[in-house]
Amino acid sequence: MFRFLLFFSFLLQAGRTAAQNSLVPIGQWNEQYNNKSVQHIVKGDKVYGASSNQVFSINSKKMIELLGKSTGLHEIGIAALAWDDLNQQLIIAYNNSNIDIVKGDNIFNINDIVVSNLYANKKINDIKILNQWALVATNFGMVVVDLVKHEIKDTWFPNNNRQPMLTYQTALTKDSLYAITEEGLYSSAIKNNWINPNGWNKLATYQNLGITKISSNGTIVVAYNTNRVYQYPSTNPVISNKIGNIQQVTVTKEGSLLLAMNYVNKGALLQLNTDKSILTLIDSTILGHPMELLQDQNDYWIADSSNGLLLKNTTNQWVALGGPNENIKGKSFINDMVLLAPFNGNANGFSTYTKSGWKNYTLNGNSKLPICIASTIDPKDQTWWFTTPAGLLHLNSNASSLETSIPSNAIGTYQDLQFSANGNLWVLQDGQGLLQKKDNAWKLYAPPNNFIKSGFDKMIVTKQGQAWIIAPQNQGIYLYQSTESYPTEVWKQLTTAKSNGNLPSTHVTSMVEDHDGAVWVGTDNGIGIFNCGDVSKEICDAYLPPIKNTNGFVGLLFQKEIVNCMAVDGANRKWIGTNNGAWLLSADGRDIIEHFTKDNSPLPCDTLLQIMIDPKEGEVFFNTSTEMVSYRGSATAGAVSQNYIDIYPNPVTPEYNGPIAFKGLVENAIVKITELNGRLVYETRALGGQAIWNGKTYEGQKVASGIYLVFVRDDAGNEKGVGKIVITSGR
């Protein structure tokens, strides 16, 4: 019935990775975005670019800095970039028509277009800079932004009658401004670095050429569409392309044209010289889908929406911007060393995240890895396991060897997997049931014949060895109890019926076991909490926690909310992911500690798919329906014994105003901070294995400079001096 298939490869290939990641302070965020698709590139005091949702900069030493909501930007989804050389600032336009201006460490937001109700379609298409003005081409006209006052000054309409007109792009020469619109090409004279808003001229010869883009080097103007390029004022194309699509044309200082070309699943960079000869600078074996290009002396920067950012000079080099290669759609797993993130969907392979950053694994030798669905790590040897449609992948922790196993001859996708507390591997196979690997042998535990088996997706195995499976087709939960921990083997279905589950809904969406052994079950109508023993003898019903809403009426926890995912932190607090953001609850679920949404945090959207927590550092990873971000939480897992303590930062410098963390504590320890003479300054209790201090006394006063002692006491009353902390002046 069971087969096992082995092969080894010592060339399991990892994709490009970014530089080492530094752990952010407690309470701060970090984007973990997929930067494989680069859309925009511009030159300023640095090279600036944007992937689908994040801005980056690269200085002369090729050092990369990422900008996102965690660093103060207001949105994700980048529509256009431009550099204001006069005022040394970057203009960022978003897909929702919001605008940010980044000047040094300051970010100025202009949201007038977003909040305006004057026009139905407010999409931003392009930005050009005219002296101190940003000319923002939109689907209703041209918005003029004052780059000194950081405000909107005017709106221009090339038709001169202030009627909405789709404006694709603009281009500048020394004496004229050109605008490509839905009605063709318009121009206006520039006088004293300004134009007459009602002085546009329609260029009749360019009305029926189907052009949607325009480019200029300040002297030469070219207008083009996907097939033809025209050098104004001639209406004879300088190039007519029938093979691929022209994505962007750049006019060099010398007057030659650089063409970013897109073919079917490949691209190229061509140079059309002034003598009409064509030179291939980068061929289709390298480029996938070039979007924009930048020539900076001998460097060519190409934004490729399929492969990322390419730098060409004497060689071709893909620039690592960090992040997973794909958006994560599989079930991730995290421990104190690594986050495993399977791509799932239509993407092969997986990513890993460690202190060294992201690595992407897509190939085993010259062969593609299969689609990886769910992941876990063997606690005994730290090897990695993944489910795939046809079997399991098993890799050592440095990914230098790989084996595949096919536990069952039966047909069915291998969906989920988990190691139980006694070290056995459990696998959920769709259409079949539970597979257990014990003593290197596989065994199938099939549900009763009256249980629906098609549509298995998620499961958990509790510390008591009970397997909880989300039943297909909104049938509640299937619970399997083996004889490893209980005398009787039994399958049981839990529903909304009293004495048979008492679920808030049979549409179960998520499950998690907390530190006390309680199973929290999320549904499309809130949460139920189970504390079940031997289900062959005892009723297994959910407790539905009551809460008071803002009106004082008693309701049920997350009633009428879809609970997409849940996770438990080191202090046994519950992180809940819904379609309305992420929530942090107290251990019993009665108190809301945090509620993060895309409007009050760097969350890219409000739909949460999975939450993972690093037990050692307390970093909380939120995988949303668009991108992944992380948040440095205040709780970590408790240490088994109190042998050491990490204090961060130490010393505490005058410019640091964040929380001071004491890590490596036994669970829920009491922490005392005293002066050298023994006078108590502050006392607190750890959240799991980490305590937080704001550097102030009980009265709220900042402590004076000096050396302070740290004492830790566990619940048994054992106390020891475990550290010193240095506070420098100015705190």
The DSSP result for 554-583, as a single string, is EEETTTT----EEEE-TTS-EEEEETTEEE
Q: Which tens digit of pLDDT belongs to each residue from 143-177?
A: 999 999 999 999 999 999 999 999 999 999 999 99
Domain that holds residue 692: 646-727
pLDDT digits (tens, 9 = 90+) for 266-319: 999 999 999 999 999 999 999 999 999 999 999 999 999 999 999 999 999 999
**The pair of three-digit structure tokens given for residue 533, joined into one six-digit string:** 């023993």
Q: Which helix (H) or strand (E) holds 112?
A: helix 112-115
Distance in Å from the first CA to the final CA of the chain: 68
pLDDT band at 2 (very low <50, low <70, confident <90, very high): very low
Q: Which amino acid is at 624?
A: T
Longest dimension (CA), the chain: 91
- Residues 219-244 pLDDT 10s: 999 999 999 999 999 999 999 977 78
Residue 708 to residue 698: CA distance in whole angstroms: 15
* Residue 721, pLDDT score: 65
Q: How far apart are CA 630 and CA 33, in angstroms?
A: 10
Residue 618, pLDDT above cutoff 80: yes
Residue 704 phi/psi, 5-degree rounding, is -75, 165
Give me the mean pLDDT over the 80-96 stretch: 98
For the chain, percent of residues with pLDDT exceeding 90: 85
pLDDT of residue 551: 57
pLDDT at position 656: 86
- What tokens were used for 490? 């039994």
**pLDDT score, position 242:** 77
The enclosing domain of 686 has a CATH number of: 2.60.40.3110
Among 440-444, 560-564, 699-703, which is the least confidently predicted range?
699-703
Note whether residue 364 is domain-resident: no
CB neighbourhood size of 508 (10 A)? 26
- By the 8 A CB rule, do 598 and 606 touch? yes
Within a domain: 709: yes
Q: Residue 710: which of 698, 692, 728 has the closest Cα?
A: 692
The tokens of 693 are what? 């201090």
pLDDT tens digits, one per residue of 596-605: 999 999 999 9
* Per-residue confidence (pLDDT) for residue 19, from 0 to 100: 45
Residue 237: asked if its preceding bond is cis (omega within 30°), the reply is no
What total of structural domains would you count in the chain?
1
Q: Which residues contact 216 (CB under 8 A, 6 or more apart)?
A: 171, 172, 173, 178, 222, 251
Looking at residue 10, its pLDDT comes to: 35
> Is the per-residue pLDDT at 3 higher than 50?
no
Element (H, E) at 114: helix 112-115
Angle at 619 between CA 416 and CA 615, to 5 degrees: 65
Does residue 261 belong to any structural domain of this protein?
Answer: no
At 428-480, the pLDDT tens digits run 999 999 999 999 999 999 999 999 999 999 999 999 999 999 999 999 999 99
316 pairs with which residues across the strands? 312
Q: Is 263 exposed, middle or buried (0-12, 13-18, 19+ CB in 10 A)?
A: middle
DSSP letters of 511-532?
A: EEE-TTSPEEEEETTEEEEE--
pLDDT in tens, 46-56: 999 999 899 99
Q: Is the pLDDT of residue 491 over 60?
A: yes
Considering the domain boundaries, does residue 652 fall inside one? yes
Mean pLDDT, rounded, for 487-502: 97
In a domain, 684, yes or no: yes
Give the per-residue pLDDT at 552.
Answer: 57
The C-alpha atoms of residue 540 and residue 476 are separated, in whole angstroms, by: 13
Q: Is the peptide bond before 651 cis (omega within 30 degrees of 0)?
A: yes
- pLDDT 10s digits, 356-402: 999 999 998 889 999 999 999 999 999 999 999 999 999 997 778 89
**Residue 715 has what pLDDT?**
79
- Alpha-carbon distance of 281 to 292, in angstroms, equals 15
The 3-class secondary structure across 423-467, one letter per residue, is CCEEEEECCCEEEEEECCEEEEECCCCCCCCCCCCCEEECCCCEE
pLDDT at 260: 96
DSSP string covering 73-104? ---S-EEEEEEETTTTEEEEEETTS-EEEEET
The two tokens of residue 199 are 């002085």
Q: What does the alpha-carbon distance between residue 167 and residue 155 come to, in Å, rounded to a whole number?
A: 12
